[in-house]
Structure 1
Amino acid sequence: MAVGVLALQGSYNEHIAALRRIGVKGIEIRKPEQLRGVDSLIIPGGESTTMAKLAELHNLFPALREFVGSGKPVWGTCAGLIFLANKAIGQKTGGQDLIGGLDCTVHRNFFGSQLQSFEMELSVPKLAEKEGGTSTCRGVFIRAPAILEVGPNVEVIADCPVSSDQLKVAIPASDGQQEREFTNNRVIVAIKQGNLLATAFHPELTSDSRWHRYFLGMVEEAKEEATPSAVMVKYDLYGDGNDRAKKPHDLPIFE
């Protein structure tokens, strides 16, 4: 199995290393024609405005939208989440192009500046049910976005509390609704909708491989639906219970 990783800017090397640790090849994607050689795609974290400008420069947006619309699995982390959202607020002047596909509203820089980056244990029972391990995972939030609203067909996988000093956010009016204030005490940070997965944090910067294995499960399911007779590889999260300790990490990660 090979997974495409959009390699315009950001943490694409870390995603490729995370895939390598579980025996999967990551292919760097920089041109539209390269998308034809992969059945799935990871859009990494980074600076979303810069990534959008580079994607526009390389005429990638039409191909990326076609890829998402084809039903092939796509996972966006941090900036990748912003790319996949149907609606993004808190953008820089002039905004940026989005790929779309996820029925959600994302705040581009909800948690603040680079100095407000943080780590947090997240409750992820659905991930644990699917991939084993503990019911929590380490979330690394680096100048991170947050999901303020989701549509009825979106599955919420993880959320996190909003601190008391977090500024209230105005959600612009749309579809005949009035502008309103987001006042919830929790925000959503991981969702799944059909062939799309998105996380506001960076699983590729931790030693927990379950998010990448979860995405590979989506790839296998998509292939199974396309070719029901195919034999799919099944992954065991921890093998003998110590597989992560046996595999050297070739890039720095947060334990």
Structure 2
Amino acid sequence: MSAARVGVLALQGGVAEHERMLAGLGAAPVPVRSAAHLVGLDALVIPGGESSVLDRLLDVAGLREPLLEVVGGGLPTLGTCAGLVLLAARVENPAPGQGSLGVLDVTVRRNAFGRQVDSVETWASWRVPGGPDRIRAAAIRAPEVLDVGPGVEVVSTMAVDGVDRVVGVRCGAVLAISLHPELTGDLTAHETLLAQVRSDAPALTR
């Protein structure tokens, strides 16, 4: 069986780190900088970075509509940190002019865990069948999921000041987390994405 071709949106953010993680799991990472790079992919990663910058760069690269087509069409997709914001239907505190792809029926708040100096590394719960009970969590100016729509499953929470905050959701072929697994080296989210490509773990029904 040939290696899964996994695109990594390569406009800004932790692109190389995600590519190394995917390659280490036997996948073939493909940097995505134009619509042509989306052709023939088995999955897609939208990495962390600055969500408002990524949103603007989608239009510069002509990628907004092509991404909506492939992600909305069921391409297994993992969004991390800013990737979660980009996928969300609603952003509570957008930057001026900021939009999103709107493919995931959730409301998020950007930078919910404070400034970069308030970054934390801890543990978060993980509730995807077949995976571990917890994952290593790095939250850097991370978004929080405030509410979820019908069919969206909460798959990860992180305790902050004694309160469990939602940092991971899944719906259909889309998995999105607030965290930076490329910084902790935790492979769980990427393994979950690749398992869906192999159909070892069926996608949730939208």
TM-score, normalised to structure 1's length? 0.74
Q: CA deviation at 1:208?
A: 2.5
Q: Percent identity?
A: 40
- Identify the match of residue 28 of structure 1 among 31, 34, 53: 31
- 2:88 paired with 1:90: no
- 2:62 paired with 1:56: no
Name the SS of the counterpart of 1:28 in structure 2.
Answer: strand
Aligned partner letter, 1:121? W
What is the CA deviation profile of residues 193-238 of structure 1, one whole-angstrom value per residue up to 9, with x for unaligned ones?
001000000112223222211110112229x99xxxxxxxxxxxxx
Find the aligned partners of 1:194 and 1:139 in 2 and give their Cα distance.
23
- Identify the match of residue 205 of structure 1 among 175, 183, 187: 183
Please state which structure has a larger fraction of its residues in strand.
2
Find the aligned partners of 1:92 and 1:113 in 2 and give their Cα distance.
15
What is the CA deviation profile of residues 24-79 of structure 1, one whole-angstrom value per residue up to 9, with x for unaligned ones?
11100000121113121100000111111111111110101111111111110000
What is the CA deviation profile of residues 105-124 of structure 1, one whole-angstrom value per residue up to 9, with x for unaligned ones?
00011111111111111122
Matches within 5 A, 1:189-204: 189-204=167-182
Q: Let me know the Cα RMSD of the aligned residues.
A: 2.0
- 2:126 paired with 1:130: no
For structure 1, the 5+ residue unaligned runs are: 165-184, 226-255
Find the aligned partners of 1:67 and 1:6 in 2 and give their Cα distance.
13
- 2:101 paired with 1:99: yes
For structure 2, the 5+ residue unaligned runs are: none
After TM superposition, where is structure 1 displaced by more than 6 Å over at least 4 residues in a row? none
Which residue in the other structure is 2:41 paired with? 38
Find the aligned partners of 2:72 and 2:185 in 1 and give their Cα distance.
31
Find the aligned partners of 1:58 and 1:137 in 2 and give their Cα distance.
34
Larger-Rg structure:
1
Which residue in the other structure is 1:215 paired with? 193
Name the SS of the counterpart of 1:33 in structure 2.
Answer: helix
Q: CA deviation at 1:186?
A: 2.8
Which residue in the other structure is 1:150 paired with? 148
Find the aligned partners of 1:147 and 1:66 in 2 and give their Cα distance.
24
Which residue in the other structure is 2:10 paired with? 7
In the alignment of these two chains, the number of paired residues is: 200
Which residue in the other structure is 2:21 paired with? 18
Find the aligned partners of 1:208 and 1:52 in 2 and give their Cα distance.
26
TM-score, normalised to structure 2's length? 0.90
Find the aligned partners of 1:98 and 1:65 in 2 and give their Cα distance.
10
Aligned partner letter, 1:140? A
Q: CA deviation at 1:158?
A: 0.9
Find the aligned partners of 1:25 and 1:189 in 2 and give their Cα distance.
27
Deviates more, 1:100-109 or 1:154-163: 154-163
Name the SS of the counterpart of 1:110 in structure 2.
Answer: coil
Find the aligned partners of 2:188 and 2:105 in 1 and give their Cα distance.
24
Aligned partner letter, 2:144? A
Find the aligned partners of 1:44 and 1:208 in 2 and give their Cα distance.
14
